[in-house]
Amino acid sequence: MKSSFKPPFNPTAKAPAVASRPAFPVRLKPGEGMPSATKLVATAARPTGNAAKNGFKKSVPAAAPDGVGLDSHAVRARMVHKLAAQGVSDARVLAAMGLVERHRFVDTALVNQAYEDTSLPIGLGQTISKPNVVARMLELLCQGAAGKLDRLGRVLEIGTGCGYQAALLSHLANEVYSIERLRGLHDKARENLRALRLPNVHLLFGDGMIGYAKGAPYAAIIAAAGGEAIPPAWVEQLAVGGRLVAPLQTAAGVQALVVVDKTPLGVKQTVLEAVHFVPLKSGTS
């Protein structure tokens, strides 16, 4: 099937330079400025700006991984077509979904299911959400107040998992800070993303419940794990005009998608459809 989808902009275009942020590569002093209780370590992409100041390790470029023998362009275009038919309408999101090779983020045994509308295991009891849910959340994120711009500014993702959504975000935002609490998955995401060379993605190992204050304020925050309340740190670290999208356990005992908009007049929360995400947990492991 041919896709008739045509992105109206070039999603691979370079992010506009942010005047206040130093260019990279930068010299890093390990541990500088990081209180031990909140220490986060980034090891994947090249750090810039605040990340550099806070003692991030520079990544070591590695050889690109072998392909998996899947001519994925057509099958991905089909997935994008289906997403559009299901109601995803934001051209930025559809373009990103068409660009990022989901099959590179799952085990080789699952490659054939990578473009089906299904969640898939990514190890350590965690899952990658189905494309439809990922696209829906990204669309909500992009359509906040900051979404009137072509690209989001700085974005915080809680729950890096395999790194798939972080790769999508790299096409939608100027800077992506993504936190994972499980070392095994943080390492896996670093491996998965290394070959993509996304200089605006910063992977952090730590407890995302406390957010990442050094990168704040964020134009958008997205969580891929659901708790019983939105951690106050997330709302604090959200810019005025920014939007947060997260799964949340509602009073009815059902997990639902929640949108939090931080406006000059206060914080507005909207509860949307039911979803099934892995639990948000504190601490690291």
Among 51, 79, 119, 164, the residue binding ligand SAH under the rule CB under 6 A is 164
CB closer to ligand SAH out of 25 and 279: 279
CA 210 to CA 231: how far, in whole Å?
7
User: Any idea which residue has 């974005």 for tokens?
Assistant: 155
Q: Which residues make beta-bridge pairs with 270?
A: 259
Does position 203 bind ligand SAH by CB under 6 A?
no
CA-CA distance, 172 to 165, in Å (whole number)?
A: 11
Q: 159 or 215: whose CB is closer to ligand SAH?
A: 159
On the CB side of 244, how many CA atoms lie within 13 Å of its CA? 32
> Of the listed pieces 39-47, 77-85, 138-146, 153-161, which binds ligand SAH according to CB under 6 A?
153-161
20 is catalytic: no
Interface with ligand SAH, residue 119, by CB under 6 A: no
Among 42, 94, 140, 185, contact with ligand SAH (rule: CB under 6 A): 185
Q: At what angle do helices 91-99 and 72-85 cross, to 10 degrees?
A: 150
Listed residue (98, 108, 113) closest to 66, CA to CA? 108
Query: Binding of ligand SAH at residue 225 (CB under 6 A)?
Result: yes
Determine contact, residues 157/183, Cβ cutoff 8 Å: no
Catalytic residues: 129
- Kindly list the residues in this chain that would bind ligand SAH in the complex (CB under 6 A): 122, 126-128, 158-159, 161-162, 164-165, 179-182, 185, 207-209, 224-225, 278, 280-282
